[in-house]
Amino acid sequence: MGMIGGGKDAFIGAVHRLAFNMDGQVELVAGALSVNPDIAVESGNILYLEQDRIYTDYKVMLEKEAAMPADKRLDFVSIVTPNFVHFDPAMMALDKGFNVVIEKPITFSLEQAVQLKEKLAATGLSLLLCHTYTGYPMVKQAKQFLKSGALGKIRKVFVEYPQGWLSTFLEKTGQAQASWRTDPKKSGAAGSMGDIGTHAFNLAEYVTGLQVTEMCAQLNIVVEGRMLDDDGAAFLKFNNGATGVLMATQVAAGEENNVKIRVYGEKGGIEWKQEDANTLLVKWLDKPAEIYRAGTGYLSSFASHNCRTPAGHPEGYLEAFANLYRNFALTLKAKLNNETPKEEWLDFPSVEEGIRGMAFIENVVKSGQSNEKWMKFEV
């Protein structure tokens, strides 16, 4: 595979490499790793790429790699650039016949996401969108458990994503992560809601199998001088009548990255939080709560398939990320071999989740700016 973005000092590119390396099924062989040619070359060398597959321009890379013979050809490219450089390389990659892995949010605008969907349909290629948290085995267990109907109709959803790293005016110091994420020209219409609110939103829809139909949002810029929201919340209405509250903030000083979801049905509820990622709590109205654990023998096939070690050997964020890649790779391999991918492999986020995520960003910003209380969730 090849990589666009993710040079030596980038955060998420390094995470991708840790994730796809892990299972030994994916090999990085080409890269246009930075817009800065020096960094692109240096990064390629650090990663042991062959000289002729280190590129300083992703367009050149896609051209040249598309011309490679079948046995050397890239199976897919990973696009790990800031948000405003997602759409163009993705479209070109698909045009050149490459499957695509893309960081969230999928594009800069909802419209682009819709175009990407059409392009995928036209090319028959596949896309993986990196909503990492849905790669955790116990998140998959939660989804399957709710799907089983064990808790009855879903009534209430609480999803929260508190971070604290933007509590100061960090972008002013030139810190790279903060700088582009708080810049509307690079990040898009939303700040925190785009960066982490989309994860919370995706988690809520993924775990419940429901869709948000209306929202009422409050968005704040807490740190003076910042250009995009760094804090916010939204009331949610779902298509089965359930309601919810979504919270995403990057100014909760002292918080790390503790994404958490709670869902309640008629008979009980589930709770999962990233800080204790290998545990799924199942609470019951009238009997003791249960602690489901990763790696045990009693999990659904969707959860078990995404565990690598026996119970008690904690797997974390990188393994969740690796699960996305592994399922994507297994699906591509099956398609290559004209086999039907297993349901468990196909359980990775793709362009539909990308469209929902972009719609979330546009709707949450619109609602945040509006004096209307409830707004239809428009896609």
- Chain residues 264-293 in contact with a copy of itself, contact rule CB under 8 A: 264-269, 274-278, 282-293
Residue 17's region, left for phi above 0, alpha for psi from -120 to 50, else beta, is alpha
Closest CB to a copy of itself among residues 47, 101: 47
- Among residue numbers 171 through 230, which ones bind a copy of itself (CB under 8 A)? 216, 218, 220, 222
**Nearest distance, CB of residue 152 and a copy of itself, angstroms:** 8
Largest Cα separation within the chain, whole Å, is: 65
CB atoms within 10 A of CB 38: 10
Indicate whether 18 belongs to the interface with a copy of itself (CB under 8 A).
yes
C-alpha R_g of the chain: 20
Q: Which amino acid is at 148?
A: S
Under rule CB under 8 A, how many of the chain's residues touch a copy of itself?
87
**Tokens 């116990």 — which residue?**
138
Distance CA 207, CA 140 (A): 7
**Nearest distance, CB of residue 289 and a copy of itself, angstroms:** 4
Element (H, E) at 154: strand 154-162
Q: Which stretch binds a copy of itself (CB under 8 A): 52-60, 89-97, 308-316, 353-361?
A: 308-316
Instruction: Yes or no: say if 30 and 3 are a contact pair by the CB < 8 Å rule.
Output: yes
Distance CA 156, CA 128 (A): 29
DSSP β-bridge partners for residue 233 = 218, 247
Distance CA 254, CA 197 (A): 18
Task: Using alpha carbons, list the distances in angstroms from residue 175 to 152, 230, 309.
Answer: 47, 16, 37
Distance CA 260, CA 344 (A): 23
Peptide bond connecting 310 to the previous residue in cis, omega within 30 degrees of 0: no
Name which position in 309, 340, 343, 376 contacts a copy of itself (CB under 8 A). 309
Closest CB to a copy of itself among residues 123, 218: 218
Indicate whether 80 belongs to the interface with a copy of itself (CB under 8 A).
no
Closest CB to a copy of itself among residues 39, 216: 216
Name the DSSP class of 299.
Answer: S
Closest CB to a copy of itself among residues 11, 352: 11
Q: Which stretch binds a copy of itself (CB under 8 A): 52-60, 69-77, 261-269, 340-348?
A: 261-269
Token duo for residue 183 = 């810049």
Closest CB to a copy of itself among residues 106, 299: 299
Closest CB to a copy of itself among residues 21, 123: 21
**Nearest distance, CB of residue 295 and a copy of itself, angstroms:** 8
Name which position in 252, 303, 332, 359 contacts a copy of itself (CB under 8 A). 252
Distance CA 374, CA 230 (A): 22
Token duo for residue 240 = 């089965």
**Nearest distance, CB of residue 311 and a copy of itself, angstroms:** 4
Shortest CA distance to 321 belongs to which of 10, 23, 1? 23
Indicate whether 164 belongs to the interface with a copy of itself (CB under 8 A).
yes
Token duo for residue 272 = 């999962």
- Among residue numbers 231 through 250, which ones bind a copy of itself (CB under 8 A)? 231, 233, 235, 243, 245, 247, 249
**Nearest distance, CB of residue 246 and a copy of itself, angstroms:** 10
**Nearest distance, CB of residue 350 and a copy of itself, angstroms:** 23
Closest CB to a copy of itself among residues 4, 217: 217
Name which position in 115, 158, 221, 342 contacts a copy of itself (CB under 8 A). 158
Closest CB to a copy of itself among residues 71, 287: 287
**Nearest distance, CB of residue 216 and a copy of itself, angstroms:** 7
Residues ≥6 apart with Cβ < 8 Å to 341 = 330, 331, 334, 335
Name which position in 221, 304, 317, 346 contacts a copy of itself (CB under 8 A). 317
